[in-house]
Amino acid sequence: MGSTDDKESDEFPPEKRLEAPNTRLIKAGIKTIPDMETLRECVAYENAHQNRTQILHRLKWKAEELREDEG
């Protein structure tokens, strides 16, 4: 991965993606997850902090989408 991916991960850590003030921003944060490593960080963060079923489902759907894109 290049430095652009590293920079994107630094700018949007899990807490910024998942602690947005409204669900539209949270959905956008999940939609823009660039890779599985970032997704895993978001799942770990969500499990440790909020553990919201709806958000975990969205993260699961994003994982399936990323796997399809890789394949």
**Residue 19 resides in a domain:** yes
**Residue 5 resides in a domain:** no
CA distance 8 to 54: 25
Q: What is the pLDDT of residue 25?
A: 96
Q: What is the pLDDT of residue 1?
A: 41
> How many domains is the chain built from?
1
Model pLDDT for residues 4-49, shown as the tens digit of each residue: 444 555 678 999 999 999 999 999 999 999 999 999 999 999 999 9
Residue 58's domain comprises: 14-70
**Residue 32 resides in a domain:** yes
**Residue 20 resides in a domain:** yes
Residue (of 53, 60, 55, 54) closest to 15 by Cα position: 55
Q: What is the pTM for the complete model shown?
A: 0.83
Give the angle subtended at the CA of 50 by the CAs of 31 and 60, to the nearest 5°: 40
**Residue 62 resides in a domain:** yes
**Residue 36 resides in a domain:** yes
**Residue 54 resides in a domain:** yes
**Residue 27 resides in a domain:** yes
Q: What is the pLDDT of residue 2?
A: 42
